[in-house]
């Protein structure tokens, strides 16, 4: 069985770009910069940056466009997909992009406030996340989370 999964952690290069297909389906395109640091043979730090383009669809696209902005550190999971096309001059072009399944802000150096969305007649309405329920009856082998 083949798998095609990727997890990226990096910073958004631009604000997500929200668009709609001709049939009205929302999609957001975003670019993420992923830095890699390592020490060379002399013990000096080296750094390399890779840039990836990703697409997220439907209601999640609208939430991404509303919630994330340039510079936000994000964690995303998805699948790599290759697209190929021919230019008007007859040149072949190809690009590898990430089809994003899940994305959210990294909480390594930030905090976030989560608001759940619920479907209401095709639209999404924001509602605060429910408060956790206090519980004192955990068993001796049960973690309280």
Question: In the prediction, which pLDDT does 144 show?
Answer: 46
Question: In the prediction, which pLDDT does 128 show?
Answer: 55
pTM over 0.75: no
Q: What is the dihedral of CA 117, 101, 18, 64, to 10 degrees?
A: 40
Q: What are phi and psi of 112, to 5 degrees?
A: -140, 150
Q: Which domains does the chain have, with CATH numbers?
A: 6-109 (2.40.50.140)
Query: Which residues have C-beta within 8 Å of that of residue 38, sequence separation ≥ 6?
Result: 45, 46
CB 112 within 8 A of CB 63: no
Q: Which residues pair with 99 in a beta bridge?
A: 55, 79
Mean pLDDT by 10 residues, the chain (145 residues): 90 97 96 93 93 96 95 96 94 95 92 78 53 51 48
Question: In the prediction, which pLDDT does 127 show?
Answer: 54
Question: In the prediction, which pLDDT does 145 show?
Answer: 43
């Amino acid at each position: 069985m083949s798998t095609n999964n990727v997890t990226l952690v990096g910073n958004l290069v631009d604000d997500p770009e929200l668009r709609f297909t001709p049939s009205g389906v929302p999609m957001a395109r975003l670019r993420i910069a992923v830095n890699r640091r390592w020490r060379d043979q002399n013990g000096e730090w080296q750094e390399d940056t890779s840039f990836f383009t990703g697409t997220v669809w439907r209601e999640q696209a609208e939430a991404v466009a509303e919630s994330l902005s340039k510079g936000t550190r994000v964690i995303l999971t998805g699948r790599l997909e290759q697209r190929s096309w021919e230019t008007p001059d007859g040149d072949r072009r190809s690009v590898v992009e990430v089809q994003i399944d899940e994305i959210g802000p990294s909480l390594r150096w930030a905090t976030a406030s989560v608001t759940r969305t619920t479907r209401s007649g095709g639209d999404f309405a924001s509602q605060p996340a429910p408060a956790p329920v206090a519980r004192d009856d955990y068993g001796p082998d049960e973690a309280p989370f």
